[in-house]
């Protein structure tokens, strides 16, 4: 039934409409000095006023940093640290999209240990526990409220960089779908598609030998039974409810289901890891300055088509999770790729990398750079070399996902 499983998670995950209102009492149990990392959009909302009051009511000292920028440039992290160091928070609260949550995680890390931010880039370089973080997402996508990774943009690095460590998992996640009611359709679609990519890429990740120490040596351990369950539940929920949330942003049932799915997909990829769609998004994002979710969403169907020869059984399960009936594994597997493609068309995801602004003469660079994300490349179910990456990128550029499907299975 299950021969191996890994679940790393927040100490508490609170889920449901209205749960944001418990913020003050939850934070007050953890510490008396709260640093809130958010952005100018959320800082100007009535929700922020109410949440701030809930912290004040607990007699807490509160500092709000509202300068978080999308895709999290390092300069913004340093600006936050400038004010946070003298404030000496005992709890760091991230409220916003993945950028604000990742800001809270990196700031909590930097306030806990000496060293420059770049000294923590990579996997397992955080020496121990960091200041407790409360993550409260306002998008349904990244799952950062429960994941062990923070992603940022450093102008000294060509591509965005990650800091991955189980110590970065937020202490408490508060997932209140009402906070996502204000997401416009485009943001709902691209962040939901990012969640779908997390679920599918973790469900189809490589299986690694179950050697003792695997879970100590690696943050992302590959496919495993515990993340599989969460990934499949997320895929089912997104199939039905993501189109509804995009079509009608006020549909709270759909908003709830999509936020639930994004959180579960975060739990899934937080131990299993993601794959080629995430690896190739890094250089695409660097060249086109498009959001993480948009690039991942635009790439997923092509990556699925490329991986298809190695994913008959797993894609058949994906198809069943998407509500597709049938008994022939090969047909079901093909149907999974087609269904994801149709779902993404339905919610308005760009069909090609050209739509994202990529140019034909940039394709070779994208393919070669994507191989640098070795933690993602080695997690992909079909081994990815320059030829493979090139075929995906070329197919994604012209919009021919069937063309990414190289003939021979490995
Ligand atoms: N740590 C992780 O596990 C993880 C996983 C995937 C992606 N990421 C990172 O997360 C970031 C992307 O996060 P994101 O997709 O959530 O977007 P985001 O945080 O970058 O925000 C994008 C925009 O959406 C706005 N926004 C956020 N919530 C809103 C709401 N409720 N209503 C209206 N506007 C709203 C923001 O103000 C911002 O302008 C990237 O930096 C990406 O690399 C992190
Ligand atoms: Fe992602």
Q: Domain map of the chain by residue range?
A: 12-180, 185-404
| Farthest CA pair distance, the chain | 65
What does the block give as tokens for 365?
């660079």
CATH topology of domain 12-180: Rossmann fold (3.40.50)
**Ligand that lies nearest to the alpha carbon of residue 141, given by its number in the listed order:** 1
Distance in angstroms (rounded) separating the CA atoms of residues 248 and 394: 34
- Domain 185-404 fold: Dehydroquinate synthase-like, alpha domain (1.20.1090)
What does the pLDDT read at residue 69? Answer: 97
Q: Residue 161: phi, psi to the nearest 5?
A: -125, 155
DSSP state of 357: T
C-alpha distances in Å from residue 347, one per residue of 221, 243, 298, 350: 32, 6, 12, 9
The ligand with the least distance to the CA atom of 219 is 1
Question: Is 395 within 8 Å of 308 (Cβ atoms)?
Answer: no
For residue 403, what pLDDT is reported? 66
Pocket-testing residue among 41, 71, 97, 168, ligand 1, by greatest number of atoms within 8 A of Cβ: 97
Res 272: pLDDT: 98
Residues 6 or more apart in contact with residue 328 via CB below 8 angstroms: none
Using the mean position of ligand 1's atoms as its centre, give its distance from the Cα of residue 312 in Å.
Answer: 33
Distance 139 CA to ligand 1 centre (A): 6
What's the N-to-C CA distance of the chain in angstroms? 26
Q: Measured from the CA of 102, which atom of ligand 1 is nearest?
A: 1
Residue nearest to atom 38 of ligand 1 (CA): 70
Instruction: Classify residue 123 as exposed, middle or buried by CB count within 10 Å of its CB (0-12, 13-18, 19+).
Output: middle
Alpha carbon of 13 to ligand 1 centroid (Å) = 19
* Residue-level pLDDT, tens digit, the chain, 410 residues: 889 999 999 999 999 999 999 999 999 999 999 999 999 999 999 999 999 999 999 999 999 999 999 999 999 999 999 999 999 999 999 999 999 999 999 999 999 999 999 999 999 999 999 999 999 999 999 999 999 999 999 999 999 999 999 999 999 999 999 999 999 999 999 999 999 999 999 999 999 999 989 999 999 999 999 999 999 999 999 999 999 999 999 999 999 999 999 999 999 999 999 999 999 999 999 999 999 999 999 999 999 999 999 999 999 999 999 999 999 999 999 999 999 999 999 999 999 999 999 999 999 999 999 999 988 999 999 999 999 999 999 999 999 887 666 444 44
Q: Name the closest-CA residue to atom 20, ligand 1.
A: 70
CA 317 to ligand 1 center in whole angstroms: 29
- In the reported structure, the alpha carbon of residue 182 is separated from the centroid of ligand 1 by a whole-number distance in angstroms of 13
Q: Give the pLDDT of residue 400.
A: 85
Question: What distance in Å separates the CA atoms of residue 406 and residue 396, rounded to the nearest whole number?
Answer: 14
Q: Report residues whose beta carbon is within 6 angstroms of any ligand 1 atom.
A: 39, 41, 70-72, 96-100, 102, 138-139, 141-144, 147, 149-151, 179-180, 182-183, 187, 191, 194, 291-293
CA atoms within 13 A on the CB side of 286: 22
Pocket test for ligand 1, best of 68, 96, 147, 173 (most atoms within 8 A of CB): 96
């Amino acid at each position: 039934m299950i021969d191996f499983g890994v679940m790393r998670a927040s100490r508490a995950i609170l889920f449901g409409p209205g749960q944001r209102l418990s913020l003050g009492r939850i934070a007050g149990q953890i510490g008396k000095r709260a640093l809130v990392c958010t952005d100018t959009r959320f800082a100007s909302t009535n929700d922020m006023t109410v949440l701030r009051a809930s912290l004040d009511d607990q007699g807490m000292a509160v500092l709000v940093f509202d300068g978080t920028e999308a895709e999290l440039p390092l300069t913004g992290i340093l600006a936050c640290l400038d004010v946070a160091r003298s404030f000496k928070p005992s709890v760091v609260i991230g409220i916003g999209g993945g950028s604000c949550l990742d800001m809270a995680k990196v700031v909590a890390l930097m306030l806990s240990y000496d060293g420059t931010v770049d000294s923590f880039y990579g996997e397992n370089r955080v020496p121990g526990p960091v200041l407790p973080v409360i993550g409260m997402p306002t998008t349904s996508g990244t799952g950062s409220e429960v994941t062990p990774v923070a992603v940022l943009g450093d102008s000294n690095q060509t591509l965005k960089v990650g800091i991955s460590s189980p110590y970065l998992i937020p202490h408490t996640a508060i997932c209140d779908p009402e906070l996502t009611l204000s997401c416009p359709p485009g943001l709902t679609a691209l962040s939901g598609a990012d969640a779908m990519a997390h679920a599918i890429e973790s469900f189809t990740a490589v299986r690694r030998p179950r050697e003792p120490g695997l879970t100590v040596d690696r943050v992302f351990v590959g496919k495993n039974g515990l993340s599989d369950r969460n990934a499949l539940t997320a895929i089912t929920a997104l199939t039905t409810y993501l189109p509804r949330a995009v079509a009608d942003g006020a549909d709270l049932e759909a908003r709830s289901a999509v936020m639930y799915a994004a959180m579960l997909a975060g739990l899934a990829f937080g131990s299993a890891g993601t794959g080629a769609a995430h690896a190739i998004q890094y250089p695409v994002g660097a060249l086109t300055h498009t959001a993480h979710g948009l690039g991942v969403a635009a790439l997923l169907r092509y990556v699925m088509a490329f991986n298809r020869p190695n994913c008959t059984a797993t894609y058949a399960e994906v198809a069943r999770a998407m509500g597709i009936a049938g008994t022939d594994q090969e047909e079901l597997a093909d149907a999974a790729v087609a269904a994801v493609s149709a779902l993404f068309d339905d919610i308005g995801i760009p069909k090609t990398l050209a739509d994202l602004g990529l140019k034909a003469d940039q394709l070779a660079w994208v393919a070669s750079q994507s191989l640098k994300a070795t933690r993602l490349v080695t997690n992909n179910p079909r081994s990815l070399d320059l030829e493979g990456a090139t075929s995906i990128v070329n197919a994604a550029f012209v919009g021919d996902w069937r063309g990414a499907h190289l003939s021979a299975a490995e």
